Amino acid sequence: MPSQGWISPLNLSPASTGVAGTTLATAATLAISPTSSTAPDYILPAEWLTQGGILRFTANGIFTCGSTATNATFALMYGGTGGVVLATTGPLAMLVNSTTLSWELEALLTCRASGTSGTAWTQGNVSGIVASVSQSTSRMDSSVFGTPAVATIDTTAAKALVLNGTLSQITGSPTIICHQWLIEG
C-alpha cells in the first residue's frame, strides 16, 4: 500500500529567508549559511532525525574570483561550524575573472541509524563555481565517485545544521556569498 510522506521546509526564519550569509573573503573556514543574532543557524531538534529520515539541503548565491587561481571548498556540517562533516566538495578550482556569478548546492542526507552513534549518508553536488568547462558540477560524496559520504552523528541531541565555505587564498579578492539556504525534511 502506498504511503504519504510530507516534505516541509524546516528553517523558515528571517535568517534563512531574509538575509545573506556571511561573505566569505578570507582563507579561513566560515559558516556561510544565512544566520543572525536573532535567528541563529537552524537547530535540528533532538530525536527529530530517525532511521530512514531524509534531509534535503539547497543553497545558492554568488561568487567573484579575480585573475588568481583560487580553490573553494563547501562542507555541510552537523553540530555547527566545528561539528561533524556530513559531506564536503574538496577543493574546487573557481572560474577566474568572474564577477557575481551564480552557484548552487544540492544534497540529500539519509539517516541509516539513529542514536548517540547514528549514521548519516550524504550525497549531492555544487554547480556554477567550477572552472573546468568540461565539468560544471562537482560532487559532494566520498573519495570514491558516486559513493555517499558516511558520518557518525548523535541524533539524541539538538544540533545546528550549517554550510561552511573555505577559500584557498585571497589575492584578487575572491568572495562567496550564500543568499538562500533551505533545509527540508
pLDDT digits (tens, 9 = 90+) for 98-118: 899 999 999 999 999 999 999
Which grid cell sits at 36? 543572525
H or E element in which residue 179 lies: strand 175-184
pLDDT digits (tens, 9 = 90+) for 18-38: 678 889 999 989 999 987 555
pLDDT digits (tens, 9 = 90+) for 122-138: 998 888 887 764 444 56
Q: What is the pTM of this model?
A: 0.87
H or E element in which residue 124 lies: strand 118-127
Which residues, including other chains, have CB under 8 Å from residue 73's CB and lie 6 or more apart?
29, 88, 89, 90, 91, 92, 164, 165, 166, 168
More confident residue, 78 or 135: 78
> What are the residue boundaries of the structural domains of the chain, listed by start?
23-184
pLDDT score recorded for residue 174 = 95
- pLDDT over threshold 80, residue 44: yes
